[in-house]
């Protein structure tokens, strides 16, 4: 598996991968989907392009033989902290260790490239199995919760009004 930063020509493949892993029936092949909580899109090409064009953000890709199998979005929050989001693994490869590799390489990337000392993320609080996954990798619930952006179609169509983000953090 090769790991690198996404470029403009990767947007179509990234979009297809992310949608297949987070939404709809294809997502149900894996264990980390949001299909029971959210419908609609997870992201769009414009949002991915904006991340790629932003000097304080990057999408890291895991690919093999030119096929994108995973990705993660990293954002510089401040001088010491980065934000991790959109950790995505092709549904049929979930539970293969690729997510764990993407997570570890992301931590290395922000520590080495941006000199960050901590990583934060938000996870929908109803996704207990995903929160447990991150806790097994050293992330800790901060006790902070952030509102889900209900009504913003860029985040999908909620199937419940109870969605909220739990904030997790890890010193790296």
Q: How confident is the model at residue 27 (pLDDT cuts 50, 70, 90)?
A: very low
The residues that bridge with 60 in the sheet, in sequence order, are 5, 72
CATH of 2-171, picked from 1.10.10.60, 3.40.640.10, 3.40.50.2000, 3.40.630.30, is 3.40.630.30
Report pLDDT digits (tens) over 85-120: 999 999 888 888 999 999 999 999 999 999 999 999
- Cβ contact 30:94 at 8 Å: yes
Question: Is the pTM higher than 0.85?
Answer: yes
HSE of 134 in the Cβ direction (CA atoms, 13 Å)?
Answer: 26
Quick check: helix, strand or coil at residue 24?
A: helix
Report pLDDT digits (tens) over 122-164: 999 998 989 999 999 999 999 999 998 887 776 777 778 889 9
- Cβ contact 23:42 at 8 Å: yes
């Amino acid at each position: 598996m090769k790991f690198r930063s996404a470029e403009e020509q990767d947007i179509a493949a990234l979009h297809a991968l992310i949608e297949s892993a987070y939404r709809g029936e294809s997502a149900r092949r894996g264990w980390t989907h949001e299909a029971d909580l959210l419908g609609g899109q997870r992201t769009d090409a414009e949002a991915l392009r904006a991340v790629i064009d932003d000097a304080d953000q990057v999408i890291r890709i895991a690919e093999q033989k030119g096929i994108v199998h995973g990705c993660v979005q990293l954002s510089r929050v401040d001088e010491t902290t980065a934000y991790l989001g959109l950790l995505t693994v092709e549904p049929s490869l979930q539970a293969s260790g690729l997510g764990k590799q993407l997570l570890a390489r992301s931590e290395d990337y922000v520590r080495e490239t941006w000199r960050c000392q901590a990583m934060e993320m938000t996870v929908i609080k109803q996704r207990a199995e995903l929160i447990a996954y991150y806790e097994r990798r050293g992330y800790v619930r901060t006790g902070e919760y952030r509102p889900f952006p209900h009504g913003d179609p860029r985040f999908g169509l909620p199937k419940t009004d109870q969605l909220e983000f739990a904030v997790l953090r890890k010193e790296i």
